Amino acid sequence: MSSNDAIIKLNVNGSDRTVEADPASALLDVLRNQLGLTGTRYGCGANQCGACNVLIEGQAVAACDTPLWAAAGKSIVTVEGLGTPERPHPLQRAFIAEQAGQCGYCLSGILISAAALLKRNPNPSEVEVRAALDRNLCRCGAHNRIVRAVLRAAKEAL
Amino acid sequence: MTGALPANLKANPRLARWLRFDAAGFIELRPGKVEIGQGILTALAQIAADELDVDLARIRMIPVTTAASPNEGTTSGSLSVEQSGSAVRHASAQARAIYLAAAARRLGIAADTLTVEDGTIVGPGNLRTSYWELADDALLQCDAIFGVVPKPPSARRVAGTPAARLDIPDKVFGRPRFVHDVVLPDLLHGRVIKPAGPGAKLTALEEGPVRARPGIIALVRHGSFAGIVADTEAAAEAGVEALRKAATWSGEPMLPDEGNLAQWLKGEPAETTIVEDRKARTGEPGQRTVRRQYSRPFIAHAAMAPSCAIAQWSGPDRLHIWSHCQGAYGLRADTALALGIPAENIVVEHVEGAGCYGHNGADDVAFDAVLLARAAEVGGRPVRVQWSRADELAWAPMGAAMAIELEADLAASGDIVDWRSQVWSNGHVSRPGRMPIPTLLSASLLAKPFERLIAFNPPMAMGGGAERNSVPLYDFPTMRVTCHRLLTMPIRTSALRTLGAFANIFAIESFMDELAAERGEDPLAFRLRYLKDERARGVLQAAAKRAGWNEWKKREGVGHGIAFGRYKNFGAYCAVVAEVEGSAEIRVRRLVVAVDVGEVVNPDGVANQMEGGAIQATSWTLKEAVRFDRQRITSDAWETYPILHFSEVPAVEVEILNRPEERSLGAGEAAHPPTAAAIGNAVFDALGVRVRNLPITRERIIAAMA
């Protein structure tokens, strides 16, 4: 524990967690290295690719440039908290059904952005889905499958 | 006798190296190819399931490790289904025969009376046993022999049907799957700094303050290589920032003029080869010559994840590496060369990384981890090194810039009677494991640096590099194709998806469009007149039909274009129709892709590859160029190296022409080249402006209008 460390309480995927860390450290680092939640991916460290998106109070934000103090006391949901193979989130079910991905590295962040979208707009148009995912990069070219999967999830959840 | 065995099985004949039957009811398959986002594990599992008569779910795919896997070289060139697929098919067929023979012995009946249903072996009179009852590793401790024939395509039930990717669930549920997620006991975190530019040397490093930082365990410097090891990732991140500030670099500006790449390419010393020299038969003489020049810039891999690896030393000369490289044996060979230790002392284990489109930073970061993990202070603990986003975009090898000059002699009719082309480019391959010097980036930074290999081109029998697809598939009576490979390499180049095919097909198919326009002939009809190959004609006609080519109504600000390519001239056939709209800002609305990959193993896998290829190629075509000044690469963030966003992605329709009796051909690179040309041709159709220098940006369109 370094001199800057503090005890910070978080609510991650529905569980209260306490971490000892520098309040200025990136939420992403704490999620991956202290809480073992490696589903949230590091992509750029500059909030330019969306690979590390998590939900904070229902909003999709980049965990790489969110300081820990800004997440303190708030409800955080990572991809692991969306669902499990036994109880998948409608989005996860739809992504598998549509085979929406190639390498899959971008998918955690995209699922989070899509979850935030469906929460505020349960029945989005294709244009709205694309707009909601526009800050998430995908390099393999799985975009259209991903959009189809989000639309399918919306339809099946209605 | 091993005469007709697939090459990769012949080279790795021991069946136990490929397959293992487990009494618990599953079969381990251990191909030498790796998953790089393309879905190969699923396709290979399908092939094995078919030959072995088991459900797909019974096949467990084991990642490549040099400790156990067959050496199938590099996973590249759209060759995995073709090479590994045929090896897996034959190995599986032989394993099945061996297990049937064992069943026959146990049941006391002839093997040819037995059938297999999901691993249960059934004979007459309700006699039965199973792979799982018979499972015995000793059975496959023998070499593959010639003579066991795999099933005919018509008997296959799994291959040829869409299969869900085996790796997608892990990725959708965020389970650890990538090398970035690997956690080992006592894991340390390393970071390295890269030079101020390709020609820069580390002249001074103020080590004291960096070493004194909290959490820093080691500072490693060899010549112009420098990095730190820390006890946490956060300490490593902070430490490398301090290290960057502590470094002083010197170096002459050595990069070319970004604004005039074609002129630079044509002015550098080069090795010139004649790729094709087809002599004229007597025919119509040329009346006039049309000459055009096309180019593409350097293109970055721009993987979603920064390259990452873990290395661990045990003792002074034994080493284990976890890497997302494309060729575990190649990385092992170059690491051994660079360190001067026997390759047998090194184990390279593949763990997936983000989507890989060629020789990226995977091998380089692995060697960085090796150098950091060797520090005495590390004490044999594993060290995980991850590059920064900036290093990923600036220091992974680049796809080479290219200039292509095309000339056609036309008869009075406008018909092409002679075709000449010249290609200028750096070589397209400097992969590890192929040369007597290591090509790992940091090997060229050491105190006693290894010479930096000037990228070369693979032989034409493998499809060539810069000259890949430089020979048109059209039936021109005479043809001369020349390739100039640069002998200087200020910007490090290596394999990026399609190698030279992307620019060569862009040039050829743009030029064909220009020549058709000169004659006032429909571009599709013009191409078909020069194309005898039925499969080539087939994809062009299929794409045109699906896109409604002949029903197209000309409208203001909207255009369509068509293009064709057969990857490497002996791989998959692909034709693309693009529809674009816009004035100076071009938007691709729709791409129709028709492809012939021979026998299809996983139709959805092929569709996914074609969609992805077309979308990635759209990004290359409209947006991408590596930016640099005379000192350094400046496009080292997503803001300065923009790629296609969700809102810019066109609709993509894929038509697969299944030919079950034809050999399977790889799908991973077929869509890129014709997509670029189809977009360029559609832009011309929409705006009447021909953009010959990629990318087709607003600035280029305005420049071409002038």
Residue B253, pLDDT above cutoff 90: no
How does pLDDT run across A12-42, given as a tens digit for each residue? 999 999 999 999 999 999 999 999 999 999 9
Q: What is the pLDDT of residue A157?
A: 85
Residue B693 near residue B700, CB atoms below 8 Å: yes
Mean pLDDT (chain B, rounded): 96
Residue B177 in contact with partner chain A when CB distance is under 8 A: yes
- Give B646's contacts in chain A (Cβ within 8 Å): 129-131, 133-134, 136, 138, 143, 146-147
pLDDT digit string (tens) for B391-402?
Answer: 999 999 999 999
Nearest CB neighbour to A105, from listed B164, B214, B304: B304
Name the nearest CA neighbour of B312 among B380, B392, B388: B380
Q: Kindly state the average pLDDT of the residues B436-455.
A: 96
The model's pTM: 0.96
- Identify the DSSP state of B152: P
pLDDT at B282: 65
| Confidence band of B2 (pLDDT split at 50, 70, 90) | very low
pLDDT band at B1 (very low <50, low <70, confident <90, very high): very low
Contact B461, B496 (CB under 8 A): no
Interchain CB distance below 8 Å, A44 and B305 = no
Q: Which amino acid is at B388?
A: S
**Cβ pair B354:A139 closer than 8 A:** yes
Share of chain B above pLDDT 70, in %: 99
> pLDDT grade, residue B38 (50/70/90)?
confident
Q: Residue B109: what are its φ and ψ, rounded to 5°?
A: -135, 175
SS3 annotation, B592-650 = EEEEECCCCCCHHHHHHHHHHHHHHHHHHHHCCCCCECCCCECCCCCCCCCCCCHHHCC
Angle of helix B603-622 relative to helix B501-519, nearest 10 degrees? 70
What distance in Å separates residue B81's CA from the closest CA in chain A? 17
Q: Is the model's pLDDT at B405 over the cut of 70?
A: yes
Interface predicted TM-score (ipTM)? 0.97
Check CB contact of B654 with chain A, cutoff 8 Å: no
- Which string of DSSP letters, residue by residue, matches B541-565? HHHHHHHTGGG---BTTEEEEEEEE
Instruction: Tell me what pLDDT residue B676 has.
Output: 98
| Whether A133 contacts chain B with CB within 8 A | yes
Structure confidence by residue, pLDDT tens digits, B88-139:
999 999 999 999 999 999 999 999 999 999 999 999 988 999 999 999 999 9
pLDDT of residue B553: 94
CB-nearest to A96 from B168, B353, B651 is: B168
What is the structure's pLDDT at B3? 54
DSSP B68: T
**Would you say residue B294 has pLDDT above 90?**
yes
Chain B positions in Cβ-Cβ contact with residue A82 (cut-off 8 Å): 174
Tell if the CB–CB gap between A140 and B612 is shorter than 8 Å: yes
B137 burial type by CB count under 10 A (0-12 exposed, 13-18 middle, 19+ buried): exposed
Contacts of B304 in chain A (CB under 8 A): 41, 43, 49, 51, 103, 105-106, 137-139
Which residues 41-70 of A are in CB contact (within 8 Å) with B?
A: 41-46, 48-49, 51
Smallest CA-to-CA distance from B678 within B504, B510, B539 is with: B510
Q: In this predicted structure, what is the pLDDT of residue B369?
A: 98
Using a CB-CB distance cutoff of 8 angstroms, which residues of chain A are in contact with residue B388?
45
Is A112 near chain B, with CB under 8 Å?
Answer: no
| Average pLDDT rounded to a whole number, residues B372-377 | 98
> Who contacts B530 (Cβ-Cβ below 8 Å, separation ≥6)?
B416, B474, B475, B476
Q: Do A139 and B637 touch (CB under 8 A)?
A: no
- Asked whether the beta carbons of residue B176 and residue A138 sit closer than 8 angstroms, the reply is no
Question: Is the CB of residue B208 less than 8 Å away from at least one CB of chain A?
Answer: no
Report the chain A residue with the minimal C-alpha distance to residue B39. Answer: A102
Are the CB atoms for A139 and B303 separated by under 8 Å? yes
Distance CA A122, CA A130 (A): 14
> What is the C-alpha separation between B180 and B183, in angstroms, rounded?
9
* Residue B348, pLDDT above cutoff 50: yes
| β-strands B586-596, B651-656 pairing | parallel
Contact A141 B389 (CB under 8 A): no
- Interchain pair A134, B645: CB under 8 A: yes
- Token pair in block for residue B445: 């930074």
The string of pLDDT tens digits covering residues B579-619 is 999 988 899 999 999 999 999 999 999 999 999 999 999 99
- Quote the DSSP letter at residue B151: P
In this prediction, residues B178-189 reach a mean pLDDT of 97
Closest CA to B419 of B406, B430, B432: B406
Strands B115-117 and B188-193: unpaired
Q: What is the mean pLDDT of residues B525-549?
A: 98
Q: Which residues of chain A have pLDDT under 50?
A: 1
Spell out a b/e string for A57-94, using b for 16 or more CB atoms within 10 Å of the CB, else e.
eeebbbbbbbebeebbebebbbbbbbbeeeebbbbbbb
- In whole angstroms, what is the distance from residue B559 CA to residue B582 CA? 9
CB neighbours of B539 closer than 8 A, spacing ≥ 6? B564, B573, B574, B575, B594, B595, B596, B657
Q: Which 370-409 residues of chain B touch chain A by CB within 8 A?
A: 386, 388-389
CA B517 to chain centre: 34
The SS3 call for residue B58 is: helix
Q: What is the pLDDT of residue A2?
A: 63
